[in-house]
Every structure is written in C-alpha cells, then in structure tokens.
Amino acid sequence: MNLKEIELRLKEIKEELRNENADVEALKKETDELIEKRNNLLENEETRKALLDNIANQNFGVTVRSFEEDEETRKVYETEEYRSAFLKNLLGLPLEEAEERAFVHTTENTGQVIPKELQNKIYSLMEESHPILKDVNVLQTGTVISIVKHVSINAGDAKNVKEGEANEDEKNTFVNVALTGEDISKHVDFSYRLGKLSIPAFEEYLVKEIGDRIGSQWAKNIVAQIKKDLHTDNKLKAKVSGSLELGDVLKALAELKSVGRTYIYSTNKAFYGAIANMKDADRKISFIPDYQNAIVGQLLGIGIKQEDALAEDEILILDPGQYTENVVQPLLIERDKNIKTHVHTIAGIVISGGTMTNDKAGALITIGSAA
C-alpha cells in the first residue's frame, strides 16, 4: 500500500469504529500496522529528499585550474618575477632582489604556488595529449569528499495509470562514494651540470617531463575508473573480432541512458584501423573526417577525440559531464638535492580520483584482434 491508500484505509477504520458491533481488537491491530507502515514511508521520503538535495548542491562546475588565494597574492604569482624566482629556486640558483621579494611574499601566504603561466603550460599539455582530462567534471576541492550516486529506481518510476489510480511512491537506491583520490607522482633526476640550463630551457624541460607523464597517468586512472563503473550491459564486444561495423556502434549507443553531449574516444590505431576503415555500405554517410575543433572526425554526428589512455582495441562512447573527478591535491612541484651523488631531484604530484555518476552514460566497445 502506498501513502494515499494507507490514509484512506485509516479514515475507513475511523468510520467503522463508530459502529458498536465493530471488531475493535482486529481494527486496533490493523491500525497499528498501518501507522507503522505510514511512518516508514514518510521516513523513506525524507531520506530520498535529503539525498536529492545533496546531489543538487554538488558543485560540478569548478575547473582544475581553480586555486584559493587572496587577490594580492594571485597577482604576485602571475608576475614574471615570481615565475623566474620559482624556477630558479628549483634549480638552486640565487635570486635577484625583485625575485626574492615576489617569492617571499607569495610563499609566506600560500606556500610554493606554481606560477600561473607554468600552470597553464602544464595543464594545456595534459589536455592536448589527453582530451578526456578537459572534458570530465573536475572539482578542485582540496579535500576528500563524498558524492551521492543514484544507482536505480526500484519502484515508483513514471508509468501510465488509469484515471483516479495513484502511481506508486518512488523508491530509489543511492550509494555514497568517497572520492579520496590516488597519488600520481613523477620525479626527474639530473646532474648539477644539467642544472645550469637556461630558465626558458629548464621550464620547457619541466613541462614536458612532469606534465606529460603525470597527465598520461591521470588520464589512465580516469579511463580505468570509467571502465570499472560502467554498467555490465554497456561493455560490448565487436560482432566480428578485429573489425568495426556500424551495427556495433548503434548497439552501444542504444545502451546509453539519460545522456547529454557525448563524444567518442579512441586511440590512433582504433581510429585509423577500425573507425575510418569500416566496411559498412553506408560508411561514407556515418563517418565524416573533421580535423577541426579538437576532433579527428564524426561518427553518426558524434565527435571523435584521440585518447591514448584507452587500450588500442577499445572505443569509448561517453557523456563526460557525468563523470566527476575530485582533486584532493592540485599539482605540486618540489625540489631536493643529493650532495653525495651531485644530483637534483624534482618531483611533481597530484592527488585525484573520481567516479561515474550515471553508469549508463557511456559504453565501451572492445574491437579485439583479427583472427
């Protein structure tokens, strides 16, 4: 019985009790049971509303480049003096007076914040190499958070009903997912001689060695989590191993539910070896090369992006807005040196982790290899 039916029955019992011949004992027992059921339904409804409010209050619009600092400090670490001081400090070189002032002012307030220009270069390299990093929702919280994840509607979903007939009360399954993050670290060692690099050359070296490798592992972590979270029905294999047919793509698209803007992610091999090489009669209609807007083509109107974090025989169709990544520790770069071996060590670290908020918002096609 739903809430309305219980309340209607309680009114009927009230009228029955006015009759002197009523079975009071039986009606009392029924009333107690109905009141208990009513209280349980109300409690479940309160829980449901609280969970939905929690989801609605989640901030999914924060980007990976958000940093908390006061306006004065932000202006300082965007200056050329601070950028130069930061890089010189990593190399162990003496600072000029203006650089010293900028460096001390900023580090006293926020620690050794990575200069804005260096941040942009590193993150741009990450996003160019791995577009999935740019596409997913990234929360720059700086702490562990818990996200309420809707798993299923067990009862009470929308349906056709007869006139005057009540729909069932909705019952949902929710789970709390703690986004604690994984440590993604990369360090480089170089001799004191290499430490004599010019500042521009050192910055380029740093962006490439730290940013490229951390970005690669970060994207792999996100792809691995997506594969783990996807619904079983959304993990498909190509009909003919080693080749891709339009029917494989249509079957995967049919498994998507409640999605918005979607993209197809594939490796270079999967793109040129499978997508662009489909043998379907209508391939020319379904596949269109497009070397603009950060995509390499369109399949059935869906943009295709090259993502090397996938396996070579995999194609991922995804609404990236339904994956949330929580950055517990933004990119941090530190320096140490070993006076015994005369080696500098520079290490970068990011702590981050995420989850799919809708396990039907993506589909994975494994092409396999030809026999």
Domains plus CATH for the chain? Answer: 3-57+145-179 (no CATH), 66-144+180-371 (3.90.1690)
Reported confidence tier of residue 50, pLDDT bands at 50, 70, 90: low
What are 233-240's contacts with CB under 8 Å, separation 24+?
233/360, 234/359, 234/360, 234/362, 234/363, 234/364, 235/363, 235/364, 235/366, 236/363, 236/364, 236/365, 236/366, 237/365, 237/366, 237/368, 238/365, 238/366, 238/367, 238/368
Structure tokens at 98: 């203006």
pLDDT of residue 301 exceeding 80: yes
- In single-letter form, the type of residue at position 197 comes to L
The answer to whether residue 154 scores a pLDDT higher than 60 is no
Is the pLDDT score of 30 beyond 70?
yes
pLDDT at 64: 39
Q: Give pLDDT, residue 161.
A: 46
Report the range of poorest mean pLDDT among 82-96, 169-183, 274-288.
169-183
Give the least confident one: 101-105, 126-130, 272-276, 300-304: 101-105
Task: Tell how many helices (H) and how many strands (E) occur in the chain.
Answer: 12, 13
Contact 235, 286 (CB under 8 A): no
80-91 and 199-206 are packed helices; what angle lies between their axes, rounded to 10 degrees?
80
Q: What local confidence, expressed as pLDDT, does residue 191 receive?
A: 65
**pLDDT for res 316:** 97
Residue 280 has pLDDT above 70, yes or no: no
Please classify residue 360 by burial: count the beta carbons closer than 10 Å to its beta carbon, then call 0-12 exposed, 13-18 middle and 19+ buried. Answer: middle
Residue 123 has a pLDDT of 82
What is the pLDDT at residue 279? Answer: 77
Q: Which helix (H) or strand (E) holds 314?
A: strand 314-318
Residue 265 has pLDDT above 90, yes or no: yes
* Residue type at 57 in one-letter notation: N
Tokens of residue 179, six digits: 């986004």
Give the pLDDT score at 172.
Answer: 52
pLDDT category, 59, cuts 50, 70, 90? Answer: very low
Identify whether the C-beta of residue 139 lies closer than 8 Å to the C-beta of residue 166.
Answer: no
Q: Quote the pLDDT of residue 60.
A: 44
Residues in the chain: 371
> CA 135, 139, 143: angle at the middle one, nearest 5?
150
C-alpha distances out from residue 85 to 77, 98, 105, 187, 266, Å: 10, 9, 12, 20, 41
Among candidate residues 297, 291, 254, 294, the one with its CA nearest the CA of residue 274: 297
- Residue 62: the pLDDT is 39
In this prediction the pTM is 0.66
Specify the pLDDT at position 204.
83
Average pLDDT of the residues in 103-128: 72
Whole-number pLDDT of residue 148? 58
